[in-house]
């Protein structure tokens, strides 16, 4: 319990940019850890499988089925967002760690 209070006091003493970088680094670590869990691999695999299925469905839609075309395109965009967001969080975390390390050196 006292460790939590001490950590909160240390964080409060940091400037806003350092707190943001620490948060991004932490989220990046959590995202990376998530990808290495069974749940993370399963959810990512499900998204990739759904994407592949939607692309096949999209290829089979007739050109005059505008509503169906738009629906499939929107679903494909949504499915692609999950891996993209996760990858972005991980990359931001790595950049944040690098920025924090550079700040400590100077």
Q: Please give the residue range of the domain that contains residue 93.
A: 38-106
pLDDT along the chain (106 residues), means of 10: 62 77 91 95 95 97 95 96 94 92 81
Domain count, the chain: 1
**What value does the CA radius of gyration of the chain take, rounded to a whole number of Å?**
20
Q: Which residues of 14-39 are buried (b: 16+ CB within 10 A; e: fewer)?
A: eeeeeeebbebbeebbebeebbeeee
The answer as to whether 21 is a domain residue is no
Kindly list the distances between the CA atom of residue 73 and the CA atoms of 2, 36, 43, 49, 78, in Å, as whole numbers in the listed order: 52, 29, 21, 16, 9
Q: What's the confidence (pLDDT) of residue 81?
A: 95
- Measure the CA–CA gap between 20 and 101, rounded to whole angstroms: 14
Q: What's the confidence (pLDDT) of residue 19?
A: 82
The answer as to whether 17 is a domain residue is no
The answer as to whether 13 is a domain residue is no
Q: What's the confidence (pLDDT) of residue 6?
A: 65
The answer as to whether 91 is a domain residue is yes
The answer as to whether 25 is a domain residue is no
């Amino acid at each position: 319990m006292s460790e939590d209070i001490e950590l909160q006091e240390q964080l409060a003493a940091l400037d806003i940019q350092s707190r943001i970088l620490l948060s991004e680094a932490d989220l990046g670590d959590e995202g990376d850890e998530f990808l290495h869990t069974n749940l993370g691999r399963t959810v990512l695999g499900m998204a990739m499988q759904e994407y592949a299925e939607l692309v096949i469905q999209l290829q089979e839609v007739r050109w005059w089925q505008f509503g169906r075309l738009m629906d499939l395109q929107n679903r494909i965009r949504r499915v692609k967002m999950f891996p993209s967001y996760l990858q972005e969080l991980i990359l931001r975390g790595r950049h944040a760690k690098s920025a924090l390390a550079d700040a400590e050196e100077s």
